[in-house]
Structures are given as structure tokens and as C-alpha cells.
Amino acid sequence: MMEAVARQGMVLMGCGKMGSAMLAGWLKGSLSPKAVWVKDPNPSDWLQASGVQINTDLPDAPAVALIAVKPQMMGEALPQMSALGGGDTLVISVAAGTPISKFEDTFGADTPIIRAMPNTPAAVGRGITAIIGNAKVTETHLQLAEDLLSAVGQVVRLESETQMDAVTAVSGSGPAYVFHLIETMAAAGEAEGLSPDLALTLARATVAGAGALAEEAGEGPDQLRVNVTSPNGTTQAALEVLMNEEDGFPVLLRRAIKAAADRSKELSRD
């Protein structure tokens, strides 16, 4: 699939943290910098040294146009790319809260458009991205999007765009929940007599290690939890607090994820 990108080229609109992470992955692979055109108002030193074509005239029919600008910049960015609509160029958006219909207004309903929701661990190649396409998207388009987005982690396909709000709430916003868990674990460790540095080191490594184990183990997270919980031991004492159905993790996370999903729906309507 990437042969088409190498032959026809691709356009990257926006090269901030997410755009840079993806571009670095592509260039680390087999994609030549000469096949990439980047539009960015403030190109970083790394971008300028990468060998890609920056803020020049765009090719007439690139294989892919990937939009990685912030939602508030969309009104300025999209008109610069509208000429790429209506043809064979696949448009991929990683902009949060912007529905496919918004891009169809700019590029036309005959344009294949894929909406993608990555998350911030993409910066270290450990992200996960959910994708969904409009009616013009084919299996070939989806496979091409997967090839490109897998440069920064896993890729999953959705059944409908309505699922994107839940994806935003779980994986899009999810890293912030985990970072807050690390914060609160470290603070609790301090309260029990650990130094701030030691508490943070323990909390950070524990969360990172548990996440890696959850991904690689053949057992589900429920069984992994059971495996580390001795009857009447320290872990059970903690879990009796955390798993309380009145004010523990189950209640708090359901409320938190619902709040994020509801806000995502509101932003999509703005």
C-alpha cells in the first residue's frame, strides 16, 4: 500500500507533536523525505532538517493528505487543501472532535475520508488509533491508513462514527487518567513516609510495568488482578477500597468516561 505514497507522494498538514511522531515513524521506515510535503506555520528545527518539502506548492494528486492540525486551526487549514478533494487522494484526519461531515463540506462527499483518533503515547510509538471511513472509503484505503498510522502504535477499526465519542473518552483522554493515577499513587506513598522522588519512581514504574504485562500476558486484566491478590493480604485490603461500588474506581471511572464522551459529543456539534 505504501508504494502508492512513495510514487504519488503525501501531504501532511500540521507537524506538531502528533504530526512529528508520525513523520518520524514514516521516515524511519522506507518512505523517502522527497515523497512528503508538509504545511506548518512554525516548522521545528527537526522538521527543517528532515529533508521533506516544507510550505511549498502541493502536488496535484498525492496518494494521501493527512490533517494533523488542532481543531481551532481547522478553519484556516482546510481551504489550503480543498483542491485535493474529489479525486483519488485519501484524506485522513487526526483532529479531535471534527466529524467526517465537516471534511466532506470541504473536500466533497465523493472524496474518501478517514477520521482517526490517536492518543499521546504515539509520541513514543505506543499509541493506539481508532479509524472509521465515509462511504467512499475502500478496504485498500483502510489498509493504507493502517499502514501509515501503525508507525505510532496499534490501529483498530470502528463499526460507526458514533463510537468515536466513546473512543475519545477511553483512549483519547485515557492517558491523562493514567498520569493522574501516577500522581495520586506517588502522593499517597509520600503520605506513608516515602520521599517524593522515590514515591514517584515507584508509582511510574509500577503503572508502566503493569500496563506492559496487561498487553503481553495471555490472561485478562481481571485474572491478572486475582493473581496478585493474596487472601486477606495487603492488595486485598487496598482493593476493598478501590472496588467499592459506592465511591470506588468502578463508579468514578464510569462517571469520568461518560463526562468525557458527553463533552466529545458537544464539541462535535459546535
On whether the CB atoms of residues 67 and 38 are closer than 8 A, the answer is: no
Q: Return the H-helix or E-strand segment holding 114.
A: strand 113-117
The Cα 89–Cα 58 span in angstroms is 12
* Inter-axis angle of helices 196-216 and 174-191, nearest 10: 140
The Cα 40–Cα 119 span in angstroms is 21
Local structure of residue 194 (DSSP, 8 states): -
Is 102 annotated for ligand binding? no
Q: List the one residue out of 58, 116, 60, 123 whose CA is nearest residue 88.
A: 60
Is 69 annotated for ligand binding? yes
With respect to CATH, is domain 172-269 assigned 1.10.3730.10?
Answer: yes
pTM here?
0.90
pLDDT tens for the chain, 270 residues long, are 678 888 899 999 999 988 999 999 899 888 999 999 999 999 999 999 999 999 999 888 999 999 998 877 888 888 888 889 987 899 999 987 789 999 999 999 999 999 999 999 998 889 999 999 999 999 999 999 999 999 899 999 999 999 999 999 999 999 999 999 999 999 999 999 999 999 999 999 999 999 999 999 999 999 999 999 999 999 999 999 999 989 999 999 999 999 999 998 888 776
Is 112 annotated for ligand binding? no
- Topology (CATH level 3) of domain 2-167: Rossmann fold (3.40.50)
Is 68 annotated for ligand binding? yes
The Cα 96–Cα 84 span in angstroms is 21
The Cα 268–Cα 251 span in angstroms is 26
The Cα 140–Cα 237 span in angstroms is 52
The Cα 176–Cα 127 span in angstroms is 13
Instruction: Indicate the domain borders of the chain.
Output: 2-167, 172-269
- Residue 241: phi and psi, rounded to 5, are -80, -50
